[in-house]
Structure 1
Amino acid sequence: MALTSEQRAEIEAQRSEPQLTSRPTVAAMENLLFTPFEVLDHGFLRVVDYMGDDGAVVQAARVSYGRGTKKVSEDAGLIRYLMRHRHSTPFEMCEIKFHVKLPVFVARQWIRHRMASVNEYSARYSILDREFYLPALDQVAAQSSSNRQGRSEALDPETAHQVLEILRRDASQCYDDYESLLNPEGTGLARELARMNLTLNTYTQWYWKIDLHNLMHFLALRADPHAQYEIRVYAEKMIEILKAWVPATATAFEEYRLGAFTLSAGMLKVVRRRLAGETVTQENSGLTKREWSEMTAVLDGAS
């Protein structure tokens, strides 16, 4: 993991100078605050700041002044109710800020989640590092025949090595040209123009601040098994952090979002017909083939 010496010094300074505060804190979060967690080959994820906890969600839902006025079990029950019925605003009372290092092509997927505040490393102002994402051998996979935006089985090792060599060669050549273009003794090209030559597996960094409700929406999509691996590993690490930050909310989130499946009105009718003993097929269900496949995969464990 490539943290600069300045970043390491900043982290050490932050961790060695705890701040006194009257606001609610979470011991588990205080322990991991500023700590970078490795993701992919050169990426990382770390919590820079956070606001609120499970109690803040409960307090907002009850619009109360005090804390600890109810039993922990009652608070957890309320959080589960809020999650189950998608009452989202109490979760918006909590916020978290991450420092993330990630490949550019992952960042372009990530930025589509617009309900966040983002400040990215400026390649107009600074020079990007010579760091590129190269997937592990088992992640070099062929195009899926059933999913236009996904991958299928891993390529054979010999072919995968060839692919990795092409990716490594192209990224290195483009970065060499990037440095050459920037060289004041050569072309002296402006940084904002020279960056065009870099490959999409070049690493960038940003600060990303989001409220708890929208964070869970992000995680529900990006931690899904169908999400691209390279963004999913960041989401999976964020779920670990979520469990440390708001454990009751994280439990409800896993129960009602990550581990759940939403039935459409048509799917619900099919389930009721099946419970009544009726034989229902895709042809007489009123569902499309894709809807039928998605439903049966959940209800029957079909592939």
Structure 2
Amino acid sequence: MTLTPEQQAEIAEARATSRSTLRATSEGMEKHLYTAHEVLDHGLVRVIDYMGDDAAITQAARVSYGRGTKAVQNDEGLIRYLMRHWHSTPFEMCEVKFHVKLPVFVARQWIRHRTANVNEYSARYSILDREFYIPAPEHLAAQSTVNNQGRGELLEGEEAARVLDILRDDAMRSYDHYEDMLSQEGQKGLARELARMNLPANVYTQWYWKVDLHNLFHFLRLRADAHAQYEIRAYAETMCGIVRDWVPLAYGAFEDYRLGGVTLSGKAIEVLKRRLKGESVTQENSGMSKGEWREFEGVWR
């Protein structure tokens, strides 16, 4: 991971400055403020600011639902109730702002989550660093034969070495040409907003990403899942650790009901009922497609 001297100085200054406040703070989140967590080969995630804690969730719920929450005896029970019954608004009372450094191809996948505020480093105004994501050998894999979006068997030996050489050579060559086009030595040089088009999708970019807890949980449910692409999952797993420290009660409920839970279709529930009665149910007589059946069976293995 590479931080610029300016970023390192900013982090050092921010961590050295103590501020008194009347607003609620999270002891767990305070230790993450401004700390850069390494991700992939040159990436990072760090918390710039946050608002709220577990108490903010229950406070909002009790305002919204009034006497309807009286039967829930404690904050943890209330939070678990809210998560279990998909009450999203109270979780929107907490927000966090991340600084993320990530490869462009990961950013383009990430930006599909349109429920956050994003401000990205602009290659129209600044020159991108010579930093590229090159996968570790254990993450080089062939195309999956059963999942058009996934990876299959690992590449090994000469094949893996050949692919890594191509990735490095192409990235460096593209950046060399990028610099050449920008050159001001005896020539006008191409505008930065045009020269950037030549850069590969594994070059690193940076952004500030601000999101409320409800939508962050939605992001983490999809991207921390074992089926998510490894590169974005690496960021999601790092963020899971941060959120666990920030709102431990809410994260515990999220981990139980979302990360560790499953949603079953009406057909799947019917199959379970039939099996509990002792009936032998197969894909052919389940009413499910082959894909549905494969996913259903995968839950129980």
For the criterion TM > 0.5, the same-fold answer is yes
Could you tell me which residue of structure 2 aligns to residue 137 of structure 1? 137
Distance in structure 2 (CA, Å) of the matches to 1:296 and 1:123: 47
Deviations 1:195-233 (A, max 9, x none): 000000000000000000000000000001110000000
Where structure 2 has 5 or more consecutive residues not aligned to the other structure, the ranges are 65-69
Could you tell me which residue of structure 2 aligns to residue 258 of structure 1? 259
Contact 1:37-1:46 within 8 A present in 2 as well? yes
State the AA in 2 paired with 1:167.
L
Shift in Å at residue 243 of structure 1?
A: 0.6
State the AA in 2 paired with 1:141.
A
Contact 1:132-1:171 within 8 A present in 2 as well? yes
Of 100-109 and 180-189, more deviation after overlay is shown by: 180-189
Q: SS of 1:32's equivalent?
A: coil
Deviations 1:74-108 (A, max 9, x none): 10011001001100000000000000000000000
Could you tell me which residue of structure 1 aligns to residue 166 of structure 2? 166
Deviations 1:10-37 (A, max 9, x none): 0011111122110000112111200000
Of 180-189 and 48-57, more deviation after overlay is shown by: 180-189
Q: SS of 2:38's equivalent?
A: strand
Contact 1:180-1:187 within 8 A present in 2 as well? no
2:60 corresponds to 1:63: no
State the AA in 1 paired with 2:277.
A
Could you tell me which residue of structure 2 aligns to residue 290 of structure 1? 291
Distance in structure 2 (CA, Å) of the matches to 1:286 and 1:155: 38
Matched pairs, number: 294
Could you tell me which residue of structure 2 aligns to residue 119 of structure 1? 119
State the AA in 2 paired with 1:55.
A
Percent of counterpart pairs with the same letter? 66
Could you tell me which residue of structure 1 aligns to residue 15 of structure 2? 15
Q: SS of 1:82's equivalent?
A: helix
Shift in Å at residue 187 of structure 1?
A: 4.6
Shift in Å at residue 110 of structure 1?
A: 0.2
Of 5-14 and 155-164, more deviation after overlay is shown by: 155-164
Distance in structure 2 (CA, Å) of the matches to 1:43 and 1:273: 49
State the AA in 2 paired with 1:252.
A
Deviations 1:44-78 (A, max 9, x none): 000000000000000000018xxxxx9x9710011
Deviations 1:150-177 (A, max 9, x none): 1112101321111111111011010000
State the AA in 2 paired with 1:118.
V
State the AA in 2 paired with 1:179.
E
2:228 corresponds to 1:227: yes
Distance in structure 2 (CA, Å) of the matches to 1:96 and 1:73: 28
Q: SS of 1:285's equivalent?
A: coil
* 1:101-250 equivalence runs, <5 A: 101-185=101-185, 186-250=187-251
Q: SS of 1:28's equivalent?
A: helix
Distance in structure 2 (CA, Å) of the matches to 1:187 and 1:157: 46
Where structure 1 has 5 or more consecutive residues not aligned to the other structure, the ranges are 65-69
Shift in Å at residue 145 of structure 1?
A: 0.6
RMSD: 1.3
Could you tell me which residue of structure 2 aligns to residue 67 of structure 1? none
State the AA in 1 paired with 2:50.
Y
Runs of 4+ in 1 over 2 A off after TM superposition: none
TM-score, scaled to structure 2: 0.95
Could you tell me which residue of structure 1 aligns to residue 67 of structure 2? none
Distance in structure 2 (CA, Å) of the matches to 1:297 and 1:102: 32
Distance in structure 2 (CA, Å) of the matches to 1:157 and 1:235: 30
Distance in structure 2 (CA, Å) of the matches to 1:20 and 1:121: 31
